[in-house]
């Protein structure tokens, strides 16, 4: 009986070692003490949009036109003089300055991982403010090491970034601007 138990125990050990596999899998491993950082397709990343842009142009023109009409009439005893003048002038300066600043947050998904390990982000968000719809969309490529421990990334770290903000635009020209444009100024 002792030999049979020893034989049975030995065979279990031999067969148990031959079929043993590791319990650790790099693809599914999740640490118990740290938050998971997004690094695979399907994970979400929050993009902190901090974009600024500015441009300026200056156009000066001086258009001075004048028309003068004069006349003189004289007789032997008295002299009468008359003149008529008409002047038209325009001296204009046109300055155009544009400044843009966009600050927002949007959570997007990782939709692709290329052979170099870069991650492709894509996502959009719809916001309704006072009955007007506004949309923010973000697309681009990032490197996983630029994602911080809170799964945030700055928009300035996105390569081939396509950041779009659309919504209600209230930049209609005022009355005087339209009036002078109608006059040709």
50-72 pLDDT, tens per residue?
888 888 887 766 555 555 555 55
Structure confidence at residue 173 (pLDDT)? 61
Output the average pLDDT for the chain: 76
d(CA 45, CA 113): 14
Look at residue 98 in the predicted model and tell me its pLDDT: 82
CB 47 within 8 A of CB 106: yes
pLDDT tens readout for residues 152-166: 999 999 999 999 988
Confidence bin at 132 (pLDDT 50/70/90): confident
d(CA 140, CA 153): 12
In a 3-state reduction of DSSP, which class is residue 43? coil
- Which pLDDT score, from 0 to 100, does residue 21 have? 67
Bridge partners, 141 (sequence order): 120, 159
Kindly tell me if the per-residue pLDDT of 140 is higher than 60.
yes
pLDDT for residue 108 is more than 70: yes
From CA 170, how far away is CA 160, in angstroms rounded? 30
Candidates 141, 148, 140; CA nearest to 116 is: 141
Residue 157: per-residue pLDDT: 92
């Amino acid at each position: 009986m002792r030999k049979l138990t020893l034989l049975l125990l030995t065979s279990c050990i031999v067969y148990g070692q031959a079929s043993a596999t590791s319990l650790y899998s790099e693809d599914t491993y999740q640490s118990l003490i740290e938050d998971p950082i997004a690094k695979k397709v399907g994970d979400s990343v929050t993009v902190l949009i901090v974009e600024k842009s500015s441009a300026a142009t200056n156009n000066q023109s001086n258009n001075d036109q004048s028309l003068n009409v004069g006349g003189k009439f004289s007789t032997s005893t008295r002299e009468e003089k008359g003149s008529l003048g008409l002047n038209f002038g325009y001296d204009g300066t046109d300055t155009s300055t544009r400044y843009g600043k966009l600050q927002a947050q949007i959570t997007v998904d990782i939709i692709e991982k290329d052979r170099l390990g870069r991650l492709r982000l894509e996502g959009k968000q719809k916001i309704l403010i006072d009955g007007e719809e506004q949309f923010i969309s973000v697309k681009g490529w990032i490197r996983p090491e630029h994602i911080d421990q809170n799964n945030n990334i700055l928009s300035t770290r996105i390569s081939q970034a396509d950041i779009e903000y659309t919504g209600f635009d209230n930049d209609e020209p005022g009355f005087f601007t339209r009036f002078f444009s109608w006059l040709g100024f």
